[in-house]
């Protein structure tokens, strides 16, 4: 790839830097009608409730703090009567900080496969970078 072709996407990203969100606080003004995530669960499957996974006090403190960030900016909300309950899992990053994930292994079985999955993103970017704009 030539130097100009490689710099074009980077320049575009830097030009529109202000429209990207780098944390929950920056997404507080997004209307749910524009962007809302829901799991495409097969209605024939019964709701899943995972057994509660206990964590140590240090991990529990980290998990509560991380979950509280999107709650504070009303990006997510607490649900009192959930149809499915999933555990929060903490994974240690190489930097020593924690990444908070949700264990979606069983719900994945209840979701129908996508007939048209997205191709690998690096192939899309490479294909776009090679073709002239």
What span, in angstroms and rounded, lies between the C-alpha atoms of 63 and 73? 17
**Per-residue pLDDT tens digits for 84-124:** 677 788 888 899 888 888 877 776 677 777 777 766 777 77
* Best CA proximity match to 90, nearest among 116, 114, 57: 57
Listed in sequence order, the DSSP H helices in 73-111 are 105-110
The rounded radius of gyration (Å) of the Cα atoms in the chain is 20
Mean pLDDT of 47-73: 82
Going through the chain in order, the beta strands assigned E by DSSP cover 88-92, 98-102
pLDDT of 132: 56
Question: Domains in the chain: how many in total?
Answer: 1
**132 vs 129, more confident:** 129
Q: Is the pTM of this model over 0.75?
A: no
Query: Domain residues for 102?
Result: 3-130
pLDDT at residue 131 tops 60:
no
- 76: domain CATH number? 3.10.10.10
Torsions phi, psi of 89, nearest 5? Answer: -120, 135
pLDDT at residue 39 tops 80:
no
């Amino acid at each position: 790839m030539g130097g100009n072709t490689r710099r074009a996407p980077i320049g575009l990203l830097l030009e529109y830097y202000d429209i990207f969100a780098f944390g929950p606080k920056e997404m507080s003004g997004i209307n749910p009608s524009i962007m809302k995530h829901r799991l495409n669960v097969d209605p024939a499957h019964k709701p899943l409730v995972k057994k509660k996974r206990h964590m140590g006090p240090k991990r529990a403190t980290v998990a509560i703090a991380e979950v509280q960030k999107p709650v504070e900016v009303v990006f997510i909300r607490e649900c009192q009567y959930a149809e499915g309950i999933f555990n929060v899992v903490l994974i240690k990053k190489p930097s020593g900080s924690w990444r908070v994930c949700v264990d979606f292994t069983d719900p994945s079985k209840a979701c129908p496969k996508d007939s048209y999955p997205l191709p690998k993103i690096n192939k899309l970017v490479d294909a776009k970078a090679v073709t002239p704009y």
